[in-house]
Amino acid sequence: QSSVTVYGIADVLMEYRNKLNAAGDSRLSVTSGGMNTSRWGLRGAEDLGGGLKAVFQLEAEVGFDTGAAGSSFWGRQANVGLEGDFGRVIAGRSYSTTYDFMLPFDPMGYAPFYSWATSGGQIATQPRKDGMVTGVSNLIKYQGTFGPVKVGATYALGEVLGSDAAGRFLSVAGAYTAGPFSVALVVDQRNGTTITSGSYDKEKALHLGVSYDWKPVKLFAAQRRYTKSFAVGGTDLKSTMSWIGATWSATGALSITPVVYFQNIDSGASGTNDPRLFALRAKYELSKRTSLYAVASNAKSKNGGVVSVSRDDNGFADTQSSFGLGIQHRF
Amino acid sequence: QSSVTVYGIADVLMEYRNKLNAAGDSRLSVTSGGMNTSRWGLRGAEDLGGGLKAVFQLEAEVGFDTGAAGSSFWGRQANVGLEGDFGRVIAGRSYSTTYDFMLPFDPMGYAPFYSWATSGGQIATQPRKDGMVTGVSNLIKYQGTFGPVKVGATYALGEVLGSDAAGRFLSVAGAYTAGPFSVALVVDQRNGTTITSGSYDKEKALHLGVSYDWKPVKLFAAQRRYTKSFAVGGTDLKSTMSWIGATWSATGALSITPVVYFQNIDSGASGTNDPRLFALRAKYELSKRTSLYAVASNAKSKNGGVVSVSRDDNGFADTQSSFGLGIQHRF
Amino acid sequence: QSSVTVYGIADVLMEYRNKLNAAGDSRLSVTSGGMNTSRWGLRGAEDLGGGLKAVFQLEAEVGFDTGAAGSSFWGRQANVGLEGDFGRVIAGRSYSTTYDFMLPFDPMGYAPFYSWATSGGQIATQPRKDGMVTGVSNLIKYQGTFGPVKVGATYALGEVLGSDAAGRFLSVAGAYTAGPFSVALVVDQRNGTTITSGSYDKEKALHLGVSYDWKPVKLFAAQRRYTKSFAVGGTDLKSTMSWIGATWSATGALSITPVVYFQNIDSGASGTNDPRLFALRAKYELSKRTSLYAVASNAKSKNGGVVSVSRDDNGFADTQSSFGLGIQHRF
């Protein structure tokens, strides 16, 4: 009678990466999440009649190299809501509408070490790789599909005393699919949680993604235009992160995915570093749920800025390369 | 062949609450647990023959607003034991017999922000809202039902070196049901873990609850008489927490629950503050497992004592109000 | 359609133990894991055709006395791999090949408080109880069975920058079974993670185990020869941990297990302490999955060294005893 499904992704990679410290040392490591972040979760749906369903989801990150849990245990998903012909509305913690709508336009599927599509807020040290808002607490999220059109929105409360607007996040998106062609547009804004002179920092992003399934090759292109303005003084930080890539389904089981991510930093400390990442993946499906894969990447920054292949790290030199072999099993 | 059931409660509330800091600011927030603490767990039973069963339970709190786990992961339940005609005996961590026996007499079902039935040990700052012992580690717990009579006891080891009695908790309870009428009586004592001059603090509580199901209205009344005596010197802290409430099943799906909790503090720093909480809930059942609800509350303290609607918080002013809309799904 | 199995062990013990502090105090406590570490986990297998399977496992420790999780949540198992006629290869976190191959030769089954088979790396204070490598992160592990022969190996990356060898762990094992007789031999080496003058500490162990099932009595004997050499200076630490024991299946449900663990410390600060542990367990199976048990132990150290019955604790006197009654349920 229990309606709960236990599911997850076990993704482990043996990876070589160079230039991992100031001395320029390289390392071989066993790492979690070469294609997608390893995870496990619970989800369920209850039919309420009249086309209405109650839905819930709990999802947790898992380090399949050390067994570590995420810093917030259910940091990926912890939400409940209703689903019907109108779409789905959930409340709690989840990924932003920005994250959901752009995922189909990243051929690397947000791979933690081989995609910059989800790179975080601007990083203090160089290079910046600003800035998608991914996981969001205290949200209300809506998504609905009407024929070829998909619309969505996230509204997350800042819960900052003294200002309803501080800490607030808002994302609005639309997508359209016509045969092999898909396009999505997302605008979002996140306000800082610190109130200074009655104001707060503001991060705004506009995402645009297009794809064309020219079988057996699917082409992807996307761009994020990012601006951060400060509560008091300071020049706006601006950057544009773009990526283009393709997935070639060479055989029924084998696919090849090359992508390049490149950022144009318009202002600020890293203004002339303009980093880029090239990633290449070959995936061989043993089944629909289990794959072996090989992946290689190279990151490069201009004018001596430091760079890492990882979306989250700063790096120690103006280039870094990695190569890995992995297995992913979905359960 | 696996006999394990995965279960839980996903309960999310959008709540407005005022007077949340010294400046008197209010806030709108997405919060977890408007009717019951959000949770998930595993439980199972194995038939051992002859009417005997082995039983186990693991239950964890979940913050359905941020995805956070509880401070001790399986802090709600982590126990194993045997069940038969004689009742059920478990060992490990669980809720006290006091908690179990009084739950049916709180019309708010121990809602975290809308019930003071489970308010914690006495709080250093005002007001006190002393003090039910809820979750207990290192326990042996018994419960048995014999016709209209239910009996139970918890014995939890203090595990304090140098004294078998320090840290110990003992609770003994009985309940009786006759048609629409139910009554329960519980006595418990918790000893402090710090040994001072060969003694320790002692908290004693007596709980009495009655209910009468005068369909479609069920009436509830209960009281906790609490005394804390100190190992060395100090006047005893005494208080009485009482509550009366009702649940009106207006239609098959809609129920209305008003309750008032009021504490009479007989001694100590908050002796004249005597706080009270009024809570009102309307619940609409979309199914047996999924409900929408609206809830409002107002807390008030006398003579300038601070108060919060939450059983756990101190508050910043002598009154606080809240209003919320939520959804609860049981899986 | 979900192929995931939820499983675990709920093992709770009420235990008396003496000499738990410098004052010589004893204590009665409710403790988790009297026969085996309490745990829960998820595991699954997917048939890939041609005799090949994808496998994954997640396993977490649970404190069935307080509800605590392990320090790394999935610290017992977090791995994924492939299984076929060739055996099983997994990557991630798991137990070492040493741990896997010696488990069948410990009649106490690595009981946390009643076996020294898995005692940790050498302990700074006395006595040492060096040293099995148990849980291992960043590993590749292989195990295969070919008729009466079982072979296995673990290779775990050190992931230390500046040296591929620092932090590395390697274990190679073979086992052979002929009717009632079994034997296993394991050699392993763990390198320290700190590089000093281009070198690092090295721990080497050789394990040998034999068992003979002389029904209804099964006899066990095993030995670990341990050496720790230091990167710079210092005399090698050497010790030999041996154990002999038996399991007498007195009836279909009742079994009696006596074991003695004794360590000969050849060098270092505890060189003359040579501690030993005697443990005795009676287990009564209510079913294949649920047992009641009684267990007693006594540890003794020579020449005034301190000792604990627990493999993990140092102790406060040259002897310690414990007695416990417990229940274990496997789900």
Q: Which chain A residues contact residue C92 at CB under 8 A?
A: 10, 12, 30, 32, 64-65, 67
Question: Are A111 and A36 within 8 A, CB to CB?
Answer: yes
Radius of gyration of chain B (CA): 20
In angstroms, the Cα distances linking A270 to A119, A265, B25 are 15, 7, 39
A16 DSSP 8-state letter? E
- Neighbouring chains of C at 3+ CB pairs under 8 Å are A, B
Beta strands in chain A (DSSP E): 5-17, 27-32, 39-49, 52-61, 77-84, 87-95, 135-146, 149-156, 169-178, 181-191, 202-214, 217-229, 237-249, 254-265, 276-285, 290-300, 319-330
Of A54, A72, A79, the CB nearest to B290: A54
Query: Which parts of chain A register pLDDT below 70?
Result: 1-2, 121-127, 269
CB–CB contact A40 C52 (8 Å): no
Which has the closest alpha carbon to A132: A187, A92, A81, A183?
A: A187
Query: Which residues are CB-neighbours of B45 under 8 A, at least 6 positions away?
Result: B3, B53, B54, B55, B83
Chosen from C6, C47, C93 to mutate, greatest number of chain A CBs within 10 A? C93
Q: Which chain A residues contact residue C54 at CB under 8 A?
A: 286-287, 289-290, 327, 329
Quick check: C132 pLDDT over 70? yes
Question: Are B313 and B322 within 8 A, CB to CB?
Answer: no
CB–CB contact C140 A8 (8 Å): no
Chosen from B3, B4, B12 to mutate, greatest number of chain A CBs within 10 A? B12
As a whole number of Å, the end-to-end CA separation of chain A is 21
**What's the pLDDT at B266?**
84
Nearest residue of A to residue C75, measured between CA atoms: A67
Tokens of C151: 């072979």
- Distance to chain A for C75, nearest Cα, Å: 5
Which has the closest alpha carbon to A123: A282, A297, A305, A283?
A: A305
- Distance to chain A for C29, nearest Cα, Å: 29
Of B48, B73, B157, the CB nearest to C30: B157
Question: Are A321 and A297 within 8 A, CB to CB?
Answer: yes
Which residue reads 């709180």 in tokens? B106
Q: Which fold has domain B5-330?
A: Porin (2.40.160)
Residues of C with CB under 8 A from a CB of B: 5-8, 10-12, 14, 20-21, 23, 25, 27-30, 32, 40, 62-69, 73, 286-287, 289-290, 327-329, 331
Q: What are phi and psi of C105, to 5 degrees?
A: -105, 5
Encode C99-126: b = buried (16+ Cβ within 10 Å), e = exposed: bbbbebbbbbbbbbbbbbbbbebbbeeb
Does the bond joining A216 to the residue before it have cis omega, within 30 degrees of 0? Answer: yes
Which residue reads 């933690």 in tokens? A112
Residues B211-261 have pLDDT tens digits of 999 999 999 999 999 999 999 988 888 999 999 999 999 999 999 999 999
Residues C183-229 have pLDDT tens digits of 999 999 999 999 998 899 999 999 999 999 999 999 999 999 999 99
CB–CB contact C327 B91 (8 Å): yes
- Distance to chain C for B158, nearest Cα, Å: 8
Nearest residue of B to residue A50, measured between CA atoms: B286
Question: Are B184 and B190 within 8 A, CB to CB?
Answer: no
CB–CB contact C161 A14 (8 Å): no
Q: How many C-beta atoms lie closer than 10 Å to residue C257's C-beta? A: 24
In angstroms, the Cα distances linking C262 to A101, A211, C114, C169, C201 are 63, 68, 13, 26, 25
**What's the pLDDT at C279?**
98
In angstroms, the Cα distances linking B178 to A206, B210, B214 are 66, 12, 13
Least confident interval from B91-95, B286-290, B308-312, C101-105: B308-312
CB–CB contact C164 A20 (8 Å): no
Chosen from C5, C71, C138, C195 to mutate, greatest number of chain A CBs within 10 A? C138
Nearest residue of A to residue C82, measured between CA atoms: A327
Which residue reads 């005494």 in tokens? B238
CB–CB contact B77 C67 (8 Å): yes
Question: Are A95 and A135 within 8 A, CB to CB?
Answer: yes
CB–CB contact C139 A30 (8 Å): yes
Query: Which residues are CB-neighbours of C121 under 8 A, at least 6 positions away?
Result: C130, C131, C133, C203
Residues B160-179 have pLDDT tens digits of 999 999 999 999 999 999 99
- Neighbouring chains of B at 3+ CB pairs under 8 Å are A, C
Which residue reads 């367990």 in tokens? C281
Q: Whole-angstrom Cα distance, residue B88 to residue B191?
A: 25
CB–CB contact A63 C76 (8 Å): no
Cβ contacts from B onto C, under 8 A: 122
Question: Are C209 and C127 within 8 A, CB to CB?
Answer: no
Chosen from B14, B39, B329, B330 to mutate, greatest number of chain A CBs within 10 A? B329
Which has the closest alpha carbon to B100: B180, B194, B174, B40?
A: B174
Q: Whole-angstrom Cα distance, residue B8 to residue B290?
A: 12
Rounded to the nearest 10°, the torsion over CA A315, A319, A324, A328 is 60
Q: Which chain C residues contact residue A21 at CB under 8 A?
A: 161-162
As a whole number of Å, the end-to-end CA separation of chain B is 21
Q: Whole-angstrom Cα distance, residue A227 to residue A130?
A: 9
Nearest residue of A to residue C159, measured between CA atoms: A29
DSSP reduced 3-state for B228: strand
From the number of C-beta atoms within 10 Å of its C-beta (0-12, 13-18, 19+), residue B221 rates as: middle
Tokens of B139: 């326990």
CB–CB contact B92 C64 (8 Å): yes
Q: Whole-angstrom Cα distance, residue A198 to residue A200?
A: 7
Q: Whole-angstrom Cα distance, residue C84 to residue A10?
A: 19
Confidence class of residue C309 from pLDDT cuts 50, 70 and 90? very high
Strand-strand pairing, A217-229 and A202-214: antiparallel
Which has the closest alpha carbon to B44: B11, B75, B2, B9?
A: B2
CB–CB contact C92 A64 (8 Å): yes
Beta strands in chain B (DSSP E): 5-17, 27-32, 39-49, 52-61, 77-84, 87-95, 135-146, 149-156, 169-178, 181-191, 202-214, 217-229, 237-249, 254-265, 276-285, 290-300, 319-330
Of A56, A72, A161, the CB nearest to B20: A161
As a whole number of Å, the end-to-end CA separation of chain C is 21
Residues B98-121 have pLDDT tens digits of 999 999 999 999 998 899 999 876
Which residue reads 């709540």 in tokens? B15
Mean pLDDT of the residues in chain C: 94
- Neighbouring chains of A at 3+ CB pairs under 8 Å are B, C
Q: Which chain C residues contact residue B80 at CB under 8 A?
A: 10-12, 64, 327-329
CB–CB contact C8 B162 (8 Å): no
Confidence class of residue B1 from pLDDT cuts 50, 70 and 90? very low
**What's the pLDDT at C1?**
39
From the number of C-beta atoms within 10 Å of its C-beta (0-12, 13-18, 19+), residue A44 rates as: buried
Q: Which chain C residues contact residue A62 at CB under 8 A?
A: 58, 74, 78
DSSP reduced 3-state for A42: strand
CB–CB contact B21 A161 (8 Å): yes
Q: Which chain C residues contact residue B138 at CB under 8 A?
A: 29-30, 65-66
Question: Are A237 and A130 within 8 A, CB to CB?
Answer: yes
Residues of A with CB under 8 A from a CB of C: 5-8, 10-12, 14, 20-21, 23, 25, 27-30, 32, 40, 62-69, 73, 286-287, 289-290, 327-329, 331
Q: How many C-beta atoms lie closer than 10 Å to residue A290's C-beta? A: 23
Confidence class of residue C126 from pLDDT cuts 50, 70 and 90? low
Q: Whole-angstrom Cα distance, residue B239 to residue B224?
A: 8
Encode A45-61: b = buried (16+ Cβ within 10 Å), e = exposed: bbebeeebbbbbbbbbb
Q: Which chain B residues contact residue C35 at CB under 8 A?
A: none
Residue C109 CB-half CA count within 13 A: 10
Q: Whole-angstrom Cα distance, residue C23 to residue B221?
A: 50
Query: Which residues are CB-neighbours of A326 under 8 A, at least 6 positions away?
Result: A11, A12, A13, A14, A15, A34, A35, A292, A293, A294, A295
Q: Whole-angstrom Cα distance, residue C163 to residue C147?
A: 39
Query: Which residues are CB-neighbours of A31 under 8 A, at least 6 positions away?
Result: A12, A13, A14, A15, A65, A113, A324
**What's the pLDDT at A319?**
96
**What's the pLDDT at C38?**
98
- Distance to chain A for B72, nearest Cα, Å: 12
- Distance to chain A for B22, nearest Cα, Å: 11
ipTM for the predicted complex = 0.95
Tokens of A61: 């990150």
Does the bond joining C107 to the residue before it have cis omega, within 30 degrees of 0? Answer: no
Which has the closest alpha carbon to A28: A13, A11, A50, A38?
A: A13
Helix (H) / strand (E) containing B100: helix B97-102
Confidence class of residue C103 from pLDDT cuts 50, 70 and 90? very high
Q: Whole-angstrom Cα distance, residue A60 to residue B69?
A: 10
Q: Whole-angstrom Cα distance, residue A301 to residue B20?
A: 47
